[in-house]
Amino acid sequence: MTKRLLTWTTATLLLPLALAEQPSAPDAVAAPMRDLPWGDLNFLQTTDSHGWHAGHLQESQYSADWGDYISFAEQMQAKADEQGVDLLLIDCGDRIEGNGLYDGSDPKGQYLYDIVREQAIDVITTGNHELYQEDSAAREYNQTVPNFKGKYLASNLDYINPQTGKQIAMAARYRKFTTKNKGIRVLALGFLFDFTGNGKNTVVQPVEKTIEEQWFQEAIREDVDLFLVAGHVTLNGPEYKAIFKAIRSQNWDTPIQFFGGHSHIRNSAKYDSKAYGLQAGRYMETIGWQSIKGISGGGKKEKKRPKEHEPRASMSFKRRYIDTNLFGYHYHTGLNESTFSTEHGKNVSSMIHDARKALNLDHSFGCAPRNLWLNRAQYPGNDSVFTWLEDEVMPSVVVRDDRKETPRIAITNTGAMRFDIFKGAFTKDTTYIISPFVSKLLYIKDVPYKSAKGVLKLINEGGPVFSSADMPPVSQLAPPEQMSIHADIIPPLPPRDFRSSNGAQAPLGSSEKPDLVPGYTTIDAVGDDGDDTLHEPIPFFRVPNCIQSDIAFPKEGEPENVDLVFVDFIQPWILLALEFSGQSYTKDDVEVYMEDTLTELMAGWIKENWKKDC
Ligand SMILES: *[C@@H]1O[C@H](CO)[C@@H](O)[C@H](O)[C@H]1NC(C)=O
Ligand SMILES: *[C@@H]1O[C@H](CO)[C@@H](O)[C@H](O)[C@H]1NC(C)=O
Ligand SMILES: *[C@@H]1O[C@H](CO)[C@@H](O)[C@H](O)[C@H]1NC(C)=O
Ligand SMILES: *[C@@H]1O[C@H](CO)[C@@H](O)[C@H](O)[C@H]1NC(C)=O
């Protein structure tokens, strides 16, 4: 690690090293807090960070950066050592795509891999985003895997070596180790959900099949004190159910701790009284905290299963979702402005600052006149990013010179947008944050309007047309946050008296209810006391899978034919919907409509229309 840090440019050395969090990050706001419940074995988890390692520069609640997280982990490690307990760090993938710190360089991730590797992660896995593009999968194989040698686990993922064409394990299938203070023997596995959209140089094996492999069957027969299953897998999906069942079939009483990811939510799950799961949200907004009390090292595996079905509940599993800001980090470590940051953490904050400067991420394209929300506002509506896209952006940018008079329908999936737009400076970074995808616009010429007009409805309703076909569910076209949320709106919680709620405290030294900052108010399988910070709830509205703009339509009546324009990601669904509407098209009928990506087109629109300096 030191070797890497010494390779920095001399510019770094001139920066004030007192710097922690990014200089332009807003200061954290004080809020009522809940303590972290410590156990004998404790975990910090990150997942779905998507390049947000500089922290959120427009939201004080999530303004700490990866360097601050390194300071936090090092201070917590010192606290663990002091108490003679253990602390392990977990990361469950999707570290890339979604922020200029990754997407803003060519090749992508020129700075990110060196920043991420500075954290001492004990178990790290792959997400689906590392595997969409062949070049990012290759970087994962030739950079991240060696950066986390022995800690990177790939229980169901292979890589195809470009030199030999041979299919080989992406990394170790599992890892066995003993914790340093309590001597707890851990067997760790690392999974990816049954993902099928990966590039040609990786092979994802379905979890059900992996379970049948000999190495797995041997691993789950090992005599250990804990099975640790980390993965880019939702906690309630079929993959973890199958793994839980397989481990329990050999170990009726051994504790199992799952860590999940992918759906971008804070979540926990209870599989039985000694098997729990935790998922730490997204975008470096959340650090997950999990503790197990009552677990010890070197326990003999109990061969005989007593009459009752459940393992004996001799342990307690507790969780917290930590907001990533310095106020909370200081609170949980008992340290302050002058004592919290470690030299290593500060160094990494400087590394991030240098990378952002080199990438020119603060370069302003314009000034957003208002907030535009993904799921926080009703669609359609003036505050919805999708209404803005549909009514203002797409009609003006989806234009091809030789066909500009031809009426057209432009369809994009809502999942192509990843984040809210905040009123204020719209920077180079913002473009990657709201839409990191390299989706090109494709089209099919002269589609009869009577068929084209039904496509959107079919894709949004899903239904049997799609479920019978061999393709992922249409819901995958919407933002991943919707995956686990079924209500149209999560209504605000009734006001609560947090002085009397579980473990809550008001460190502000006031008995008055302070103004709460809007933020997470998580309700999970364990209860509603998971968040470390008490917040005002934020509403959540569902949005459709896809949205559509009708462009250059005749003033009256319907066009006979239209150009059907769409982002490349949704091509399979478009073709199937057309077929269902009585028009058979194939891949060969699809052509490139414009060379620019949707993100570039959007940035162009913003430069034109939001010119003002903030
Ligand atoms: C890693 O993979 C990338 C993408 O294929 C390639 O450009 C790079 O040269 C590789 N690096 C090493 C050290 O093999
Ligand atoms: C931080 O804590 C140290 C040690 O407790 C104390 O000496 C110092 O005055 C505190 N600094 C601030 C800025 O509160
Ligand atoms: C931090 O960076 C400085 C300057 O490059 C270096 O001398 C020092 O060893 C680094 N410290 C740590 C803990 O990484
Ligand atoms: C939405 O914006 C339009 C144009 O600015 C305005 O006419 C309309 O009243 C707004 N609607 C709502 C519900 O605010």
Q: What is the pLDDT of residues 94-117, one digit of tens each?
A: 999 999 999 999 999 999 999 999
Flag whether pLDDT at 581 surpasses 80. Answer: yes
Spacing, Cα 614 to ligand 2 middle (Å): 37
Per-residue pLDDT tens over the stretch 23-70: 889 888 889 999 999 999 999 999 999 999 999 999 999 999 999 999
Flag whether pLDDT at 507 surpasses 60. Answer: no
With a 6 Å cutoff on the Cβ, whether 338 touches ligand 2 is yes
Which of 329, 339, 340, 341 should be mutated for ligand 2, with most atoms under 8 A from CB?
339
Flag whether pLDDT at 512 surpasses 50. Answer: no
Spacing, Cα 139 to ligand 1 middle (Å): 6
Spacing, Cα 142 to ligand 1 middle (Å): 6
Spacing, Cα 342 to ligand 3 middle (Å): 10
| Closest ligand 2 atom number to CA of residue 337 | 13
Flag whether pLDDT at 457 surpasses 90. Answer: yes
| Mean pLDDT, rounded, for 267-284 | 97
Spacing, Cα 63 to ligand 3 middle (Å): 23
- 200 versus 469: the higher-pLDDT residue is 200
Spacing, Cα 343 to ligand 3 middle (Å): 7
| Mean pLDDT, rounded, for 436-458 | 94
d(CA 375, CA 384): 8
- 9 versus 346: the higher-pLDDT residue is 346
Whether pTM exceeds 0.75 = yes
| Mean pLDDT, rounded, for 541-547 | 95
- Residue 504: the pLDDT is 36
- For residue 73, how many other CB atoms are within 10 A of its CB? 22
Domains of the chain with CATH codes? 20-305+315-358 (3.60.21.10), 364-485+542-609 (3.90.780.10)
- Residue 291: the pLDDT is 98
Spacing, Cα 608 to ligand 4 middle (Å): 22
Token pair in block for residue 285 = 């907004």
- Residue 8: the pLDDT is 31
With a 6 Å cutoff on the Cβ, whether 339 touches ligand 2 is yes
Which of 113, 114, 139, 144 should be mutated for ligand 1, with most atoms under 8 A from CB?
139
- Residue 258: the pLDDT is 98
| Mean pLDDT, rounded, for 258-272 | 96
Token look-up 């707890």 returns 184
- ω before 395 within 30° of 0 (cis)? no
Sorted by sequence, the CB contacts under 8 Å of residue 163 that are 6+ apart come out as: none
Flag whether pLDDT at 498 surpasses 50. Answer: no
Per-residue pLDDT tens over the stretch 296-327: 998 666 666 766 667 876 899 999 999 999 99
- Residue 300: the pLDDT is 65
d(CA 348, CA 54): 10
Measured in residues, the chain has a length of: 614
- Residue 299: the pLDDT is 66
Closest protein CA for atom 9 of ligand 3? 2
| Mean pLDDT, rounded, for 209-223 | 98
Q: What is the mean pLDDT of the chain?
A: 90
| Mean pLDDT, rounded, for 202-220 | 98
Spacing, Cα 568 to ligand 1 middle (Å): 26
Flag whether pLDDT at 265 surpasses 80. Answer: yes
| Mean pLDDT, rounded, for 391-415 | 97
With a 6 Å cutoff on the Cβ, whether 336 touches ligand 2 is yes
- Residue 468: the pLDDT is 66
With a 6 Å cutoff on the Cβ, whether 10 touches ligand 3 is no
| Closest ligand 1 atom number to CA of residue 135 | 4
d(CA 242, CA 227): 14
With a 6 Å cutoff on the Cβ, whether 334 touches ligand 2 is no
- Residue 5: the pLDDT is 34
Among 480, 462, 479, CA closest to 471 = 462
